[in-house]
Structure 1
Amino acid sequence: MSKVALFGAAGAIGRSIAAALRSRGEPYRVVGRHEASLRQAFGDDPLAEILTWNPDSPEAIQAAATGVETLIYLVGVNYWQFELHPALMRRTLDAAVAAGVKQIILIGTVYPYGRARTTPVSEDHPREPHTFKGRMRKSQEDLLMQAHADGRIRATVLRLPDFYGPGVENSLLHRAVLAAANGGTADLIGPIDTPHEFIFVPDVGPVVARLVDTPAAFGKIWHLAGAGVTTQRELVEEMERQTGRAMKLRVVGKTMLRLLGLFNPLMRELVEMHYLQTDPVIMDDSALRALIGPIRKTSYQDGIRQTLTAAMCANARLAPASAG
């Protein structure tokens, strides 16, 4: 029986957590809306138990959570449907409690903080979201942590910065990676010279796996910071150094996002979060390191190398099909 379930497992973070559990020989359950995507990601792993769910159905959620001790919550919604986050969390919490789940870990974001008052930001920084998405994420966290305070379930939140890595498409750096691997123009959201941090996705899974077995982690919120402060331009320059060729850059600012948003709902929703490009939230994760000990973080140089290698290997796999 799988003691750990990953709800919303098919994304990059879910695959990282699954890899960490697999490396420890621990069976796990992956839960998602689409069986095909789950089987593509986890079908070759005998430790993975694959289940689908309907997140609109309390009965389906409870069935997916039955027999599980720890539920890791990675459930995503469309970027233009953030109002769904609190309702999904409420239904999942109620069903998890009914199913006898003992603890839940939410993989969160920096959105609930709003604009940073300090640099770096520690977990006691005020949560004062000035955006709709920040308020929805804060409401999601509040529901979870109130359930812990009420003694219904043990709960914690692990907040992450922007991320990147092999095969990660939902990243500020994705278009630059494609341009570095394939040629063409790198599309970036600017400004690209402001301080920023990124977490390398394969580094996340081992941390989450350790939290599962750390009782003191529950009842609090934690940060996992990136491998240091950098900029998008510095990472693009690292891609150029590793490939040996310069890239053309196309940098989109807030005004252009608004214009693109007239035709593209994702671009439209990025406008309110653009403050993170000009007033970045840089996280302090010293509390997490004090809790679980040293955390392995892949350097940006090595992370870019692995990400580019994966992109180029993907190109090589696609080439025979294209030729045929």
Structure 2
Amino acid sequence: MGADVSTIDPMVPVVGAPWSFLMHELSSSHPAETVLVLGGRGRFGLAAAQAFARGGWRVLAQMRPGAAAPEVAGVTWLAQALDTPQAVEALVAQVRRSGGASVVVHALNPNRYTRQAWKREAWPLLQSGMAVAQALGATIMLPGNVYNYGEAMPGVLLEDTPQRPSMAMGRIRTDMEARLEQATRQGRLRAVIVRAGNFYGRGRGTWLDLAMLTGIRRGKLVLPGPLDVRTPWAYLPDLARTFVAVAGARAAMAPFESLHFSGHDLSGQDWVDVLQPLARQQGWLSEQATLRVGGLPWPLFSLLGPLVPSWATLVALRYLWNRPHRLDNRRLRALIGSEPHTPWPLALEHTLRDLGMLPAAAEPPVHSGTARA
């Protein structure tokens, strides 16, 4: 069920004629510790903007024209589209007027989580981000996923684990990363990919609020896979803090780096063990009741996938819930020391509060987590 990704040709130069305006001499006047976040209103983009601001960086964050700018201390918002070369040029000009940037965080995503949207939008979005980073003389950083490794992936994923994607979005992502690496080899820019598991925390639109926790107030947990299969999860504030640490260590890195963020390695049973007492505490379950565990309607998703593209995507990714895997972070730790890590029960509590499922509490400390080896 693969998509035709022939339009993504790894041998086509990243910066072609439409981007020729960016090929002039780079300015050296920008400060060393300024970051530009592309897609700053998205889940990861906003978490990254907050983390860099709290880490002492000057933060510029791009958003769509007409969008409401979130109130985030230490963040300057730039309302600018990125859908044409002229729009990219305009953003670069804005950033230069603001003093430049030495790091660009690419947090732009296709509008829909479907094969078709990824094929149409993912590469142009990254191309825009690369053009901005190249023009500014900045390192581009972006989150990666495990789609690259495919259904036959081993249980432990290293940075040099062979990438054999088995579904369309994995092939698209692998080709994009290959083109990014090619650009670094040609000396156009520097790039870092930080690969992570399922995102959660800091906003809606994740597996938790869209599926797993939809019935939690009625005493039911929905699991996409078996109870005993362990998969990696990335708490966004921890991942964002990792980006800050990696950005601070970029001088010690090669022009192209791929790093693994371990995050939380969780089985379905781990979710039950933490959510069941919490559900009792909140009155969603009686003291003697147990949490009911259900699954997703996979046969229905398969049947209607041709009519509902987002369901077809879920079916294509189902193997991730059935195959145990984890991301080995030794290379990351060698670069930054311990990985930023909020204990999972605390991360889940913060997530439920963000979703409005638990009563509001006092704002947690800036660094509420620990560092994990």
Tell whether the structures are fold-level matches, with TM greater than 0.5. Answer: yes
Q: CA deviation at 1:18?
A: 1.7
1:196 aligns with 2:231: yes
Check conservation: 2:159, 2:258, Cα contact below 8 A.
Answer: yes
1:213 aligns with 2:241: no
AA aligned opposite 1:204: L
Which deviates the most, 196-205 or 10-19?
10-19
AA aligned opposite 2:295: V
Aligned position for 1:134: 170
Secondary structure of 1:296 counterpart: strand
Aligned position for 2:196: 160
Change (3 A) 1:275 1:293: same
- Distance in 2, matches of 1:256 and 1:315, equals 35
Q: CA deviation at 1:207?
A: 0.8
RMSD of equivalent CA atoms: 2.5
- Distance in 1, matches of 2:155 and 2:245, equals 27
Aligned position for 1:274: 318
Segments of structure 1 that go 5 or more residues without pairing to the other structure are 318-324
Equivalent residues, number: 310
Check conservation: 2:262, 2:328, Cα contact below 8 A.
Answer: yes
Q: CA deviation at 1:216?
A: 2.3
CA deviation profile, 1:2-34 (whole Å, cap 9, x unmatched): 821111222222222122122133221111335
- Distance in 1, matches of 2:358 and 2:62, equals 26
- Distance in 2, matches of 1:273 and 1:303, equals 25
Greater helix percent: which structure? 1
- Distance in 2, matches of 1:268 and 1:315, equals 36
Aligned position for 2:349: 305
1:33 aligns with 2:64: yes
Secondary structure of 1:106 counterpart: strand
Q: CA deviation at 1:260?
A: 4.5
Secondary structure of 2:339 counterpart: coil
Check conservation: 1:10, 1:32, Cα contact below 8 A.
Answer: yes
Trace 1:48-59 onto structure 2 (pairs within 5 A): 48-59=75-86
Matching residue within 68, 72, 90 for 1:63: 90
Aligned position for 2:161: 125
1:10 aligns with 2:41: yes
- Distance in 1, matches of 2:297 and 2:225, equals 5
- Distance in 2, matches of 1:192 and 1:289, equals 30
1:92 aligns with 2:129: yes
Secondary structure of 2:341 counterpart: coil
Check conservation: 1:239, 1:304, Cα contact below 8 A.
Answer: no
Matching residue within 324, 328, 334 for 1:284: 328
Which of these two proteins has the greater Rg computed from alpha carbons? 2
Change (3 A) 1:174 1:243: same
Matching residue within 261, 264, 271 for 2:308: 264
Q: CA deviation at 1:248?
A: 3.8
Q: CA deviation at 1:286?
A: 0.8
Check conservation: 2:261, 2:339, Cα contact below 8 A.
Answer: no
> What's the TM-score once normalised by structure 2's chain length?
0.75
- Distance in 2, matches of 1:314 and 1:75, equals 30
Check conservation: 1:172, 1:189, Cα contact below 8 A.
Answer: no
Check conservation: 1:162, 1:172, Cα contact below 8 A.
Answer: no
Check conservation: 1:235, 1:300, Cα contact below 8 A.
Answer: no
Q: CA deviation at 1:312?
A: 3.9
AA aligned opposite 1:70: V
AA aligned opposite 2:321: Q
- Distance in 2, matches of 1:207 and 1:34, equals 29
- Distance in 1, matches of 2:358 and 2:63, equals 25
Aligned position for 2:205: 169
Change (3 A) 1:132 1:280: farther
CA deviation profile, 1:236-278 (whole Å, cap 9, x unmatched): 3311112212444431154232134355331122111111111
Change (3 A) 1:10 1:261: same
Which deviates the most, 190-199 or 128-137?
190-199
Which deviates the most, 191-200 or 208-217?
191-200
- Distance in 1, matches of 2:148 and 2:297, equals 23
- Distance in 1, matches of 2:46 and 2:132, equals 24
Which deviates the most, 168-177 or 14-23?
168-177
- Distance in 1, matches of 2:219 and 2:306, equals 25
AA aligned opposite 2:154: T
Q: CA deviation at 1:284?
A: 0.3
Check conservation: 2:59, 2:75, Cα contact below 8 A.
Answer: yes
Change (3 A) 1:79 1:313: closer
1:231 aligns with 2:259: no
Aligned position for 1:240: 276
- Distance in 1, matches of 2:101 and 2:190, equals 13
Secondary structure of 1:126 counterpart: coil
AA aligned opposite 1:257: F
AA aligned opposite 1:91: S
Secondary structure of 1:196 counterpart: strand
- Distance in 1, matches of 2:311 and 2:54, equals 38
